[in-house]
Chains A and B, each alone.
Chain A
Amino acid sequence: MAGNLIEFKDVSFRYSEQDPWVLKNVTFTIKEDEWVAIIGHNGSGKSTIAKLINGLLFPQEGEILIGGKKVTEDSIWDIRKDVGMVFQNPDNQFVGATVQDDVAFGMENRGITREVMVERIQSTLEAVGMSDYQFTEPHRLSGGQKQRVAIAGVLAISPRVLILDEATAMLDPNGRKEIMQTVSQLQSKQGLALITITHDLQEVVQANRVIVMNKGEVWKESVPREIFTEKEELRKIGLDVPFVTTLADALKDIGVSISKEPLNHEELLEELWTLHLRT
């Protein structure tokens, strides 16, 4: 059984005294090799959670432990070694003049020697499938490619958790697919914890666990399949239910018996073609 990597204990946060709480008494834990999706409507506090984990923000109440270390002003530089983050806008997080310079940025900040850097640039670019672009300038890359470079840059410092903060929100469907494939491969191979923050229910399907945020509170915490059974409530808190789920619902309404909540097209297909055997 893997240990707890991230612990939120009764965390509350607001930007200033006059502002309403962005997070209210949030408590959850994330294990070392887990993929957790945090989902919520705009303003539900989901991105704030990411910034709190990384020490870009500090909570007013409660405490956050990363690998047993408390997140404070003094520990953030250690913690940022363990926590890698990819943000939403592909352009606004690309620091280097070329792909390899950008991958190196995080390593340069930590004073890693040149030989090690060269080696890790190769291996991480390979891991995200960008080896052919080592010397390419950012303006020649697509959004999805830039995000893969950002992931490589984070992996290069071998973090224990990778946080994707709406990293696919600004990409086209192809770019989205690229990123989701890349991260699911990485997660299974490298055994690091993965936190994907999104407002798209489609993206939580592959996760081990889902935390649904609403108005700064943990609204529900469960496995994806269970979450999808509560369509009405999800719609009420402003989340779009995936098409397959809506379709399954409509089928149920007209009397087609569907035994388990389908997560994707294949599962629904499986349900439908075996339908006759069950009835």
Chain B
Amino acid sequence: MNNSLIIGQYVPGNSIVHRLDPRTKITIIFFFVFIVFFANNLPSYAILVAFAFASMFASKVPIRFILKGLTPVWFLIIFTFLLHLFVTKEGTLVFDLWIFKFYSGGVIRGIAIAIRFFLLILVTSLLTLTTTPIEITDAIEDMLGPLKKIKFPVHELALMMSISLRFIPTLMQETDKISRAQASRGVDFRTGPIKDRIKAVIPLLVPLFVSAFKRAEELAMAMEARGYQGGEGRSKLRELKIEKMDIFVYIIFIVVIILLFVTRTYG
């Protein structure tokens, strides 16, 4: 089994973006997703692009990882661009050949939408590239904290997430083992018609589920034996702390928002 298995797409590093409090990152990305839709002219887009690229360079994540994160959405970006190109009939005719009639309005709008998509994907993938899943879990637990007042099981949810993350590699190793064991007994996972291959998954899934339930039961007992009695009165080893750097980044982001609203055209 592959020993260098990485959960999610986290790229280890020690850059400013890596060291930021995960809550800061999540908050900023949350608001960034909103303000992207307020940009409507060249300067406002320039500000957003500058912010996104600045964060990208500050993270020191190699460009190829970021491009890899973009691959599944290239199609969507190009598709929406073309859609706008064909459908929008505004502005002057810039290109006319047989049924291809492109208007300047369509070109501009197509590019604008493509940039929006690109920025959204870029910034959100920066979060997963620079933050470990466990940090994200901690941040979510902390940020949902107020919901405890309305009896929302925040701690339980976070614990579930972190235990699932911890068991992903274990279950993958197990899947690998079972699939080999079944292959040695003549189950064919790789050839034959689709229908047969789907059927071949059953002897893989059943033992996997059985063992997952057994694991869960044993884990529950081990946790209880170690004194687990719910979130009440628990202390935490990992702690989140807002540092000067976080405040600095918040200020920059607020400046970006102000600049955006100053530069965008109204009416």
Contacts and interface: CB of A to CB of B under 8 A. Distances in A.
B54 interface: no
Interface in A65-109: 77, 80-81, 85, 87, 89, 91-97, 100-101, 104-109
Interface stretch (A134-142, A184-192, A209-217, A249-257): A134-142
Contact of A109 (B5, B166, B214, B226): B226
B234 A109 contact: yes
A97 B137 CA distance: 11
B215 A91 contact: yes
B233 A92 contact: no
A108 B237 CA distance: 7
Interface stretch (B55-63, B81-89, B217-225): B217-225
- Of listed A56, A101, A109, A117, residue having the most chain B CB within 10 A: A109
Interface string B209-245: 0000011001101111111110001111111000000
B170 interface: yes
Given A106-B227, A110-B227, A139-B5, A101 B237 contact: yes
B239 to A, nearest CB: 6
A105 B222 CA distance: 11
Contacts of B214: 92
A124 interface: no
Interface string B56-95: 0000000000000000000000000000000000000000
B105 interface: no
Contact of A95 (B169, B170, B223, B229): B223
A12 interface: no
Nearest to B227: A109
A97 to B, nearest CB: 5
Nearest to A50: B225
A87 B236 contact: no
A167 to B, nearest CB: 12
Interface in B149-184: 162-163, 165-166, 169-170, 173
Nearest to B225: A85
Contacts of A106: 226-227
A56 B227 contact: no
A154 B218 contact: no
Nearest to A154: B226
A191 to B, nearest CB: 22
- The B interface is mostly helix, strand or loop, or mixed, namely helix
B244 to A, nearest CB: 21
B134 interface: yes
Given A91-B215, A97-B134, A77 B227 contact: yes
B3 interface: yes
B229 A97 contact: no
Contacts of B170: 91, 138-139
A246 to B, nearest CB: 34
Contact of B239 (A105, A107, A114, A157): A114
23 contacts: A56-B221, A77-B227, A85-B222, A85-B225, A89-B218, A92-B222, A95-B163, A95-B226, A96-B166, A100-B237, A101-B134, A101-B237, A104-B237, A106-B226, A108-B237, A110-B235, A111-B233, A114-B235, A114-B236, A117-B235, A121-B237, A137-B169, A139-B5
Given A108-B237, A109-B227, A112-B235, 13 more contacts: A56-B225, A77-B229, A87-B225, A89-B215, A92-B218, A93-B218, A95-B219, A95-B223, A109-B228, A138-B169, A139-B5, A139-B170, A139-B173
Interface of A: 54, 56, 77, 80-81, 85, 87, 89, 91-97, 100-101, 104-114, 117-118, 121, 137-140, 153-154, 157
Q: Which 4 A-B pairs have the closest CB atoms?
A: A93-B222, A139-B169, A104-B237, A92-B218
